[in-house]
Structure 1
Amino acid sequence: MSSKTLWQEMLLGSSTWSHVLKRGTALRITAGGDHANVGALLLNADNFSERLNLPDTLKAQHIARLTTGAVLYSDMARILCSITDDTLGWHDPLGGCSDAATVAAKYGALDYQAARNDWHQNALDGFLIELAKYGLGPRDLMMNINFFSKVEVKDDGSMAFIEGHAKAGTSVELRAEMNTLVILNTCQHPMDPDPAYRQVPVELAIKRVPAPAADDICRNFRAENARGFTLTERYFL
């Protein structure tokens, strides 16, 4: 553990995790095996009514994938987190998350009583359980990010899941621009065609980081981001 690292832990596959990532810290997520997928929800930890808005995130930056330089906008045009480092190059903001029906149809129904920790969980129920810990519920759900997964949009508008995209050791780092409630889920991507129910762990590390400077890669990634950083910094005056 480096001198700047505050916390490290391993998050098992098919598990859910949450933490209020403080402004001035960053979360690094590292794939613990091939085929990792990490669904993520983000909310303003000081005002839960403000949360991740993926349509605005993509539209404002003219992108359909997430990688280094991209920022994650809230529905109030402020920046919750920035992607300051990414060894993979493509993370999916389009594919959504699995639910009980899709998991049962693809992998079969297998409950905890029968299989213990190998039971077939789904991302939607995991998100709802974690949201409930903060007094939140179904009305607080939003479109989620899928880190480590790649979904391409074809010319006809259809979407294609790219198999074998993430390898063990690939990582992505999120810098908190606000005090951000980060909720993660490690269930498989809902579009993953693999018939095997995989449980791929990821390593989480939280560290202190400096404030974004004038030449920050995320601030200058797109023209709109400068405005987003200004609104976010004014929020903390």
Structure 2
Amino acid sequence: MNHEIPGDAAWSVPVRAGRTVTLTALADGANATVLIIGADRLDRLNIPDTLKSQMSARIKPGMVLMSDRGLALATVIASTLDWHDCLTGALPDRLLLLELTKHGFGEADLHGCIHFFSKVAVADDPRASLAYVPDHAHAGDTVTLRADQDLLIFVSTAPHALSDGPAAGVAVQLESPSHVEDPVLREEAVRALRLTRELIA
């Protein structure tokens, strides 16, 4: 399945466990804000636990995206970029909120997101503010996730809130590969995957 989301738009899709989701930037400076919720609506992406357990301040290949119950939602199995922002949290994205309402969710469900293709860094100012890093992503950059349980995935292509650039489109490709090997993972991520596989077996 292939779908193109134009700039400044949103889309959502159910994804079965084992399928892969590849996002491709269609222009320089693209941003894909992604929210992940388990299909049973019990498991939701927990950014603090994902980062803390894997000793990172960014999303990068070889990381498991964890839920607030410590289960694996998806694994980042490949990416042309080694940095995807998740520090700026759930930005006030009206497009994402509108997409959530289609599935019976509301504003309270707009929790921590990942801003794929975007990078932020600490600014050189007395407050150590977060600053958007321009020219990080280019047309053709990709990131691939493997769903580790049945999911609902929400994607918005609104510009990153710290960017002054225009919105850019993102292509989404869903595939059902016969098998996807686990990347090299930290012990905490391996445990989350094992618990998830035992639960859905």
Q: TM-score category by the smaller chain?
A: over 0.9
Counterpart of 2:199 in structure 1 is: 235
Counterpart of 2:94 in structure 1 is: 125
Counterpart of 2:157 in structure 1 is: 186
Matches within 5 A, 1:36-75: 36-46=30-40, 48-75=41-68
Displacement of 1:125 after TM fit? 1.4
Counterpart of 1:20 in structure 2 is: 14
Question: In the alignment, does 2:165 pair up with 1:172?
Answer: no
| Cα contact 1:97–1:190 (8 A) shared by 2 | no
* Superposed CA offset, 1:185-214 (max 9, x none): 00000111x2x5x1211111100124455x
Question: What residue identity is the alignment partner of 2:111?
Answer: M
* Superposed CA offset, 1:76-99 (max 9, x none): 100101100101111001123543
Does the C-alpha gap of structure 1 residues 52 and 98 become closer, same or farther in structure 2, counting only changes over 3 Å? closer
Displacement of 1:161 after TM fit? 1.4
Does the C-alpha gap of structure 1 residues 202 and 234 become closer, same or farther in structure 2, counting only changes over 3 Å? same
Counterpart of 1:208 in structure 2 is: 176
| Cα contact 1:50–1:76 (8 A) shared by 2 | yes
| Cα contact 1:44–1:181 (8 A) shared by 2 | yes
3-state secondary structure, aligned to 2:77: strand
Displacement of 1:133 after TM fit? 1.1
Structure 2: 5+ residue stretches without partners: none
Question: What residue identity is the alignment partner of 1:171?
Answer: T
| Cα contact 1:92–1:151 (8 A) shared by 2 | yes
Displacement of 1:49 after TM fit? 3.2
Counterpart of 2:130 in structure 1 is: 159
| Cα contact 1:95–1:189 (8 A) shared by 2 | no
Does the C-alpha gap of structure 1 residues 211 and 153 become closer, same or farther in structure 2, counting only changes over 3 Å? farther
Question: What residue identity is the alignment partner of 1:50?
Answer: D
Does the C-alpha gap of structure 1 residues 98 and 227 become closer, same or farther in structure 2, counting only changes over 3 Å? closer
Displacement of 1:41 after TM fit? 0.4
Q: Following the alignment from structure 2 to structure 1, what is the Cα–Cα distance between the partners of residues 91 and 135?
A: 19
Question: What residue identity is the alignment partner of 1:40?
Answer: V
3-state secondary structure, aligned to 1:56: helix
| Cα contact 1:151–1:162 (8 A) shared by 2 | yes
Identity of aligned residues (%): 37
